Structure 1
Amino acid sequence: MARSKAAGGGEGLHGPMSRRRLIGAGALIVPAVVLGGVSLRPGRARAATPACDDGDAPTPAQTAGPYFTPGSPLKADFTGDAAGEGAMIQVRGQVLDRACRPVGGALLDIWHAAPDGRYDNRGFRMRGHQFTDEHGRYALATLRPGLYPGRTRHIHLRAQAPGGPVLTTQLYFPGEPGNDRDFLYRDSLLMAADGADGFRFDLVIAAAAG
Structure 2
Amino acid sequence: MADETPTRKTLLKAALATGALLGAAGAAPALARDRADGRSLEPTPACDDGDDPTPPQMEGPYFTPGSPRTGDLVVPGDPGTPLAVAGYVFTRDCRPVAGALLDFWQADHHGAYDNVGYRYRGHQFTGTDGAFALTTIVPGLYPGRTRHLHVKVQAPSRRVLTTQLYFPGEPRNGSDRIFDPRLLMEVRRDGAGRAAAFDFVLDHTA
Interval of TM-score (by shorter of Structure 1 and Structure 2):
0.7 to 0.9
Of 176, 187, 191, which aligns to 1:193? 187
Gapped regions of structure 1 (runs ≥ 5):
4-51
Contact residue 94 and residue 136 of structure 1 kept, 8 A: yes
What code does the residue aligned with 2:126 have? T
Larger radius of gyration: 2
Matched with 1:174 is: 168
SS in 1 for 2:72: coil
CA distance in 2 between counterparts of 1:119 and 1:82 reads 16
Give CA deviations for 1:99-132 in whole Å, capped at 9, x if unaligned: 0110010000000001110000111000000000
Shift of 1:195: 4.7
CA distance in 2 between counterparts of 1:133 and 1:93 reads 11
Structure 1 stretches of 4+ with a deviation exceeding 3 A read none
Matched with 1:105 is: 99
Residue 195 (structure 2) pairs with residue 203 (structure 1): no
Pair 165,94 (structure 1): closer, same or farther in 2 beyond 3 Å: same
What code does the residue aligned with 1:124 have? Y
Higher relative contact order by CA 8 Å / sep ≥ 6: 1 or 2? 1
Pair 63,82 (structure 1): closer, same or farther in 2 beyond 3 Å: farther
Matched with 2:64 is: 69
What code does the residue aligned with 1:54 have? A
TM-score by length of structure 2 reads 0.73
Gapped regions of structure 2 (runs ≥ 5):
1-6, 10-43
Shift of 1:84: 3.8
Matched with 2:36 is: none
Q: Which aligned pairs between 1:69-88 and structure 2 lie closer than 5 A? A: 69-79=64-74, 81=75, 83-88=77-82
SS in 2 for 1:178: helix
CA distance in 2 between counterparts of 1:137 and 1:55 reads 16
What code does the residue aligned with 1:198 have? A
Contact residue 107 and residue 130 of structure 1 kept, 8 A: yes
Contact residue 179 and residue 185 of structure 1 kept, 8 A: yes
Give CA deviations for 1:16-57 in whole Å, capped at 9, x if unaligned: xxxxxxxxxxxxxxxxxxxxxxxxxxxxxxxxxxxx961644
Contact residue 114 and residue 146 of structure 1 kept, 8 A: yes
SS in 2 for 1:92: strand
Pair 53,202 (structure 1): closer, same or farther in 2 beyond 3 Å: farther
CA distance in 1 between counterparts of 2:123 and 2:178 reads 24
Shift of 1:207: 2.4
Of 131, 138, 147, which aligns to 1:137? 131
SS in 2 for 1:71: coil
CA distance in 1 between counterparts of 2:115 and 2:46 reads 39
- What is the identity percentage for the equivalent residue pairs of Structure 1 and Structure 2? 52
